[in-house]
């Protein structure tokens, strides 16, 4: 059995999850940071992280961390932490391709006694039912005899500078009690918030996938309440503030639900549930409602413009923000694109403005090229879709100045007061 002092660590996948993890371990012990994207490796070697999750000084502080895009370099490691994306496909089914490819890559260098730890969000059972067979097939080794596995779900919150990888309690697990102990001790080296050792890999997988499913369902409830209150002519934010005076009222807010976690993870759980003959009701209902919010926002905007006798067809609308959340450049599964595409269906000329976004990435991912700066006095409608600090600092007057004398301002994020905006969720 591998001893903690003999661990030679490799982190596979250096995105929003893998890089912060590799950096923290790299401050304590030798670590190989591996990514198949040579451009990403070159960027990190130069001391820059375009995701803005890790500052330059932290990259420099990880003195034991080195980077490579050469898969053969992984051969020197005996513990591998896999942090690749687990998205959904166009049919909203789990896409485990990145996870399988990473497992194949590791399988080619896997040796007796090695441990493979997965952090990517999956459904309960995926590690042992999907990943382990790939490792066995490629390596020719036997699970829990020649090599072992662990699962420790990531809890990264992009753009959050308060809750960092070291300050969020870490769930750990292993395929045998001894491996579970080693995995737990390994993470305890960097996690100051402490660890929670789950009794099995399946429990750890399930715990992760329900964290974001719970949030998704709760947000869906608030979104539905917002639809009801809008029909009643009641300000949703005012209702939530009043209800929030009770000590156990949960502080969720309505809005678009995107990103790589909340808008994706529930589909992993429902996929597994359906595979065992159970059709989830509440989870899928919540997903449908949250996925419909972009269309609802556009319908409300069009109604408001029509009431003000603003010609809809051929009008200009500014969408402020494209990322899935505020103050980060992450475009993964952003639902702002639903608003942009729905507006285009009405033959509306849409400008998207987001100072956080890499324009080339936006073009490659969604076919949307953000404007460098919005024109003043040019827009019939303005949708404040993401609460970036820059937008909050502008205030109502400067945002209004972007619109024509007669325009509609829709605030999705409660950046403005009810009096300052024409529409709010």
328 is catalytic: no
Per-residue pLDDT band at 163 (split at 50, 70, 90) = confident
In the set 131, 261, 328, 392, the catalytic residue is 261
* pLDDT at residue number 261: 85
**Confidence check: pLDDT of 169 > 90:** yes
List 383's β-bridge partners, or say none: 319, 410
**Confidence check: pLDDT of 275 > 90:** yes
Give the HSE-up count for residue 32: Cα atoms under 13 Å, Cβ half-sphere.
Answer: 22
- Lookup: tokens for 73: 């370099």
CA 89 to CA 268: how far, in whole Å? 11
What is the pTM (predicted TM-score) of this model?
A: 0.93
Per-residue pLDDT band at 259 (split at 50, 70, 90) = confident
Q: pLDDT tens digits for 324-335?
A: 999 999 999 999
Residue 347 burial by CB count (10 A; 0-12/13-18/19+): exposed, middle or buried? exposed
**CA–centroid distance for 183 within its chain:** 25
**Confidence check: pLDDT of 383 > 80:** yes
List 67's β-bridge partners, or say none: 33
* pLDDT at residue number 164: 86
For residue 87, count other CB atoms closer than 10 A to its CB. Answer: 15
Tokens 């960097």 correspond to what residue? 190
> For residues 327 and 388, is the Cβ–Cβ distance under 8 A?
yes
Q: pLDDT tens digits for 30-51?
A: 999 999 999 999 999 999 999 8
First to last CA, the chain: 56
> For residues 398 and 209, is the Cβ–Cβ distance under 8 A?
no
């Amino acid at each position: 059995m591998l001893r903690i002092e003999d661990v030679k660590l490799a982190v596979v996948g250096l995105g929003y999850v893998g890089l912060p993890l590799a950096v923290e371990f790299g401050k304590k012990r030798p670590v190989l940071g591996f990514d198949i994207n040579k451009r990403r490796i070159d960027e990190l070697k130069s001391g820059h992280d375009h995701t803005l999750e890790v500052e330059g000084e932290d990259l420099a502080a990880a003195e034991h961390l080195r980077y490579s895009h050469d898969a053969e370099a992984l051969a020197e490691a005996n513990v591998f932490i896999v942090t690749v994306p687990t998205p959904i496909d166009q049919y909203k089914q789990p896409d485990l391709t990145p996870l399988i490819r990473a497992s194949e890559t590791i399988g080619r260098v896997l040796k007796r006694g090695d441990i493979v730890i997965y952090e990517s969000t999956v459904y309960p059972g995926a590690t042992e039912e999907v990943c382990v067979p790939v490792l066995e097939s490629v390596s020719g080794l036997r699970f829990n005899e020649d090599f072992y596995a662990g699962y420790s779900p990531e809890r990264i919150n992009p753009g959050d500078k308060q809750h960092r990888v070291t300050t969020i309690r870490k769930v750990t697990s292993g395929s045998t009690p001894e491996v579970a102990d080693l995995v737990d001790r390994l993470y305890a080296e960097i996690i100051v918030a402490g660890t929670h050792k789950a009794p099995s890999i399946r429990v750890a997988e399930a715990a992760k996938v329900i964290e974001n499913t719970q949030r998704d369902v709760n947000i869906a409830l608030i979104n539905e309440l917002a639809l009801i209150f809008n029909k009643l002519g009641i300000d949703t934010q005012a209702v939530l503030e009043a209800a929030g005076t009770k000590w156990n009222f949960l502080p969720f807010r309505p809005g678009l639900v995107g990103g790589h976690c909340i808008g994706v993870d529930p589909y992993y759980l429902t996929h597994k549930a359906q595979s065992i003959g159970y059709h989830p009701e509440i989870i899928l209902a919540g997903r449908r409602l949250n996925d419909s919010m972009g269309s609802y926002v556009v319908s409300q905007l069009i109604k408001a413009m029509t009431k003000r006798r603003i010609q809809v067809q051929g009008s200009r609308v500014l969408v402020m923000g494209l990322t899935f959340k505020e103050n980060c450049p992450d475009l993964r599964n952003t639902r702002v694109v639903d608003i942009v595409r729905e507006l285009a269906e009405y033959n509306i000329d849409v400008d998207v403005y987001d100072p956080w976004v890499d324009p080339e990435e936006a073009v490659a991912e969604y076919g949307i090229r953000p404007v460098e700066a919005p024109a003043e006095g040019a827009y019939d409608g303005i949708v404040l879709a993401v609460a970036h600090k820059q937008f909050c600092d502008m205030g109502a007057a400067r945002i209004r100045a972007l619109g024509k004398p007669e325009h509609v301002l829709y605030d999705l994020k409660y950046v403005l007061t009810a009096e300052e905006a024409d529409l709010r969720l």
